[in-house]
Chain A
Amino acid sequence: MKGNEAIGEGAVRAGCRYFFGYPITPQSELTHYLARRLPEVGGLYLQAESEVASINMVYGASGAGARVMTSSSGPGISLMQEGLSFLAGAELPCVVVNMMRGGPGLGNIAPSQADYFQATKGGGHGDYRLIVLAPNSVQEILDLTGKAFELADYYRNPVMVMADGIMAQMMEPVELKNEAQAEIQAKPWAASGMIDHPGSKRIINSCFVIPEEMEAVNIRLKEKYTQILFNEQDSEGYLLEDAEIVLVAFGTVSRICRAVVEKARQLGIPAGLFRPVTLWPFPAEELKRTTGKAKCFLSVEMNMGQMVEDIQLAISGKAPVYHYGRLGGMVPVARDVLQEVQKLYSGGVVK
């Protein structure tokens, strides 16, 4: 199965029945897949007139009680930022896929991780957070898409699944676990018409004119985000126990770095890999635990080093954090990353 199709199938299996979106590469196969697949299960694929419209259709469908998603890339995700802020403010669940591409501007359609800041630090206006998941295999795309819907409903918050063109196009065997339909909890807040909840009206809203009321909402949101921060950090470690050089990478790049770590070990360099699965919440607790033997960290990303400060914060200055990145849609080559590791090792950083 292709990565793009795995997202679609993962969504259908998670009980998602509505997709609103606008065409953009490199996520097109996902929309092609869902345009066929959703009607088979009584769902709806609707092509909107823009990403601005898409995300607001998602807002309406989610507020009406449905499991719903949209997907886009770079420029389209930028257009959705106001809508995402409204969804977060009104506490509506939804899943948004970002198949990242080279930027800024129109950039290109080649693989990139340059939207890390946008996804994890806000993107839209106001005090809010997205839960951000970064799969690194087609199986994980399938599984995390399902998990994204669960998290979205549980926390009543938008969840973003971030990958890139390589992940989207990658073909890998997957195990389709339960055919059985996901169980969707009742939504006692959905504004689906008073016929569903006689006598009491419901409002889907993020507008609180009185500052005291807005602050109370902000405080409630903060408590929710703290809970997410506490409960949902997810990561994977590879040969970390005795690692003196810890590579940190997510998504596509983490696959390359795993090969780099293996190669480094063959050369006698004690390297290990830390892979964040959740980008927000950043898995700081687990990363902190790796600082015992680690002499330095190397963040390998397809951007200018947007993850570096999250690593620095997590390890509280216990070791230096270096960065190796390729930009503009270029993908790091294992050989070059290995060279960087060797340089750090022989350069005396690791003594």
Chain B
Amino acid sequence: MKKVFKRPGILKDVPFHYCPGCTHGVAHRLVAEVIEELGIRDTAIGVAPVGCSVFAMDYFEIDMFQASHGRAPAVATGIKRVLPDRVVFTYQGDGDLAAIGTGEFVHAATRGERITAVFINNAIYGMTGGQMAPTTIMGQVTKTTPFGRDREINGFPIRVCEMLAPLEGTAYLARVAVHTPKAIIQAKKFIKRAFEVQLEGLGFSLVEVLSTCPTNWGLSPLEAVKWLEEKMVPYYPLGEYKSPAGGVINA
């Protein structure tokens, strides 16, 4: 029988440690498939963050770096400047990228580093047990916003794609989600495009992936998918925010 669907060889054949219903695994798979389809396994180098996805360094069967919290874009800059013909990507959570690592991702973007950031926005700090993230939406209850995110105390969430779009160094920006089959197909297309933009040497590319954290949202996997659709997508509209093909394309 012909095998039409299999695990990408780039992903280690072990059970992932992610919680049931967590979409980190889906995002891993999409990145792995894209690397395989673009035929860049030998030249790809990944940078794993501090966060639930620190173990990406074990799961991706390519050369990997483990970076300190928030600094993956600086580490990737060092790698890419030494090895300009390698395909360098970071895989970062929202606390990692949009809080502690704010300086690093903004400056990597504005320098136009030819790297790709896969940015997992799950509106929470997963690994440390469900504290508020910079992307936690207004009113969202977390361990450190027990009465809901309040503008007087916590201010407002960061919309990373919108924030980066005016920077001249950014070549490709898109926001996707991985909660439905349709969204996943779209997500893969945009992740692939982000890597292609790097291969074409056009500048900094980033794909923001709206992702679930059922464990720390306190929801079942199915409820989590629904919450992402109903609460996150309206605040974080999906689509391409910047593309070399032209302007801001908001889906």
Contacts and interface: CB of A to CB of B under 8 A. Distances in A.
A286 interface: no
Contact of B65 (A18, A20, A203): A203
Given A60-B79, A82-B68, A203-B57, A194 B63 contact: yes
Contact of A207 (B60, B66, B77): B66
Interface string B37-67: 0000111110100000010011011111111
A193 B83 contact: yes
A57 interface: yes
B34 interface: no
A86 B66 CA distance: 9
Contact of A205 (B44, B66, B80): B66
B78 A57 contact: yes
A62 interface: yes
Contacts of A198: 42
Nearest to A63: B65
A60 B77 contact: yes
B213 interface: no
Contact of A53 (B43, B57, B58, B71): B71
B107 interface: yes
Interface string B98-141: 00000110110000000000000000000000000000000000
A346 B54 CA distance: 64
Interface stretch (A43-51, A162-170, A260-268): A43-51
A52 interface: yes
Interface of B: 41-45, 47, 54, 57-58, 60-68, 71, 74-83, 86, 103-104, 106-107
Interface of A: 18, 20, 44, 46, 48-50, 52-54, 56-66, 68, 82-83, 86, 90, 191-195, 198, 201-207
19 contacts: A18-B81, A18-B82, A48-B107, A52-B103, A53-B74, A53-B107, A54-B74, A56-B67, A56-B75, A56-B104, A58-B78, A60-B80, A60-B82, A63-B75, A191-B45, A192-B45, A203-B65, A205-B64, A207-B66
Given A64-B78, A193-B43, 20 more contacts: A49-B103, A53-B103, A53-B104, A56-B74, A57-B75, A59-B67, A59-B74, A59-B75, A60-B74, A60-B75, A63-B75, A64-B82, A191-B45, A192-B86, A193-B44, A194-B41, A201-B61, A201-B64, A205-B64, A207-B57
